[in-house]
Structure 1
Amino acid sequence: MSKVHEKSPKDCAKKRFNINKFHKKFFFSFSTFLLAILSLVFLVWLILHPKKPQFSLKDVNIYQLNLSDSNLINSTVRLTLSSNNPNKKVGIYYDVLQVYASYKSQIITQETSLPPFYQGNEETNLLSAALDGYQIPVAPSFGYEVGRDQRIGKFVLTLKVIGRLRWKVGTWVSGRYRFNVNCIAILPFNSIPSGPLSSKQGTVCSTIV
């Protein structure tokens, strides 16, 4: 007859204790490592503290703003923006840039995408955009608002940029952050306009990251 070896409840309890101890040790080591990495990233971020990019509107021209009887608008807008990175040690990747124009909170052009680019430390770039709108629906009051601005002699146009960016510190690159840029342009609007509505007065835009 062969001898049967049976583990006592004490041995099973000891084995379960060792497994639990290993899992706890592994979890503690992993948590410590992850915390160290996050602390390092936060420390770098805290020391450098990237400043949000600065945008300004250099010039804007409205070549077309035609409203049909069915409250549909065709528009043509051309503009130039200046983008500045104020950081001394942080670069910026602009992955997504979309520009559009609005009037009295009503969108009058389609969104136009600009090519992505990298902006180095304390670098400034000029961005040109051609915005067009075709058969865009607007509120019935649109024509009245334009007529009122024409009598006043000022046409207030809002230019917006929406996109996503990444910060670059040395070889480290952050995740994507959304940003929004809002520019207000005031264009002279004569009672009998000749040529496009134009403004070459520099306007500082507000930026939210």
Structure 2
Amino acid sequence: MSLITDDPDRAPRDCTAARRHHSGRRRRRLLIATASAVALLLALAIMLWLTLRPSSPRFRLLTATTTTNATGGMGTVLLDASLVVHNPNAHALALYDGLRARASYTGLQLATAAPIPPFQQAQGDVVLSAALSSSSSAAEETTAGGRSPALLTLRLEGRLRWKVAVWVSGSRILAAECVAAAVSPSQLRAVVVQDCQCATTIE
């Protein structure tokens, strides 16, 4: 049973406006909560990126020794090299694949080495060894340019990935170039190099 009265203070209230007001407040709260969550996730992602962003590995040519296996001529050039790889990242593993060392003299490829097996590196240093050998024809070509000194360089090429927790990055091309020495062809038979910093590029 309804009680109808002419008194406006005692008449039934219109709830439509109240519901609209309550719905608007709820949407605003939901929008503020969503914006806050997105801002928090974005700030967390930026902090993680700044903290865990991997720095490039550094290479150093520890030693390089060249010899020949023939007398009375250039013969085949043998180059034994040791390199130190430094990973400066405390939270990222460096994953190396397809690393191969090459040596060149006066722009000519002088020697190559077998690929280094894939390996992963935590923070710190790893020593790599490479035994390179040239063909007789390649060695003989180095004498054709005369007796002026030229650069003997060692280059390490391969692919690099980063692993942070369970996340693994895409593969990137890695190259480290080490200028071993400036020598003349006559000195190429017996070059000993120690502690040379290498230029590293990642693409």
Scaled by the length of structure 2, the TM-score of the pair is 0.66
How many percent identity over aligned positions?
Answer: 29
Change in CA separation of 1:206 and 1:89 when aligned onto 2, cut-off 3 Å: same
Contact conserved, 2:75 with 2:140, CA < 8 A, in 1?
Answer: no
Change in CA separation of 1:176 and 1:83 when aligned onto 2, cut-off 3 Å: same
Contact conserved, 1:75 with 1:132, CA < 8 A, in 2?
Answer: yes
Change in CA separation of 1:188 and 1:105 when aligned onto 2, cut-off 3 Å: closer
SS in 2 for 1:87: coil
> CA-to-partner distance for each residue in 1:50-107, whole Å, 9 max, x for gaps?
11100000110001287x99xx973210010000001121110112211010011110
Scaled by the length of structure 1, the TM-score of the pair is 0.64
Whose Rg is larger?
A: 2
Q: Which amino acid is 1:175 matched to? A: G
Cα separation, 1, equivalents of 2:185 and 2:136: 25
Contact conserved, 1:109 with 1:136, CA < 8 A, in 2?
Answer: no
Structure 2: gaps spanning 5 or more residues: 1-41
**Residue aligning to 2:193:** 199
In the TM superposition, residue 190 of structure 1 has moved relative to its aligned partner by 10
Task: Quote the RMSD (CA, aligned, Å).
Answer: 3.2
Change in CA separation of 1:62 and 1:139 when aligned onto 2, cut-off 3 Å: closer
Change in CA separation of 1:189 and 1:103 when aligned onto 2, cut-off 3 Å: closer
**Residue aligning to 1:103:** 105
Cα separation, 1, equivalents of 2:50 and 2:137: 45
Residues 149-160 of structure 1: matches in 2 within 5 Å? 149=149, 156-160=151-155
In the TM superposition, residue 174 of structure 1 has moved relative to its aligned partner by 1.1
Cα separation, 2, equivalents of 1:205 and 1:158: 10
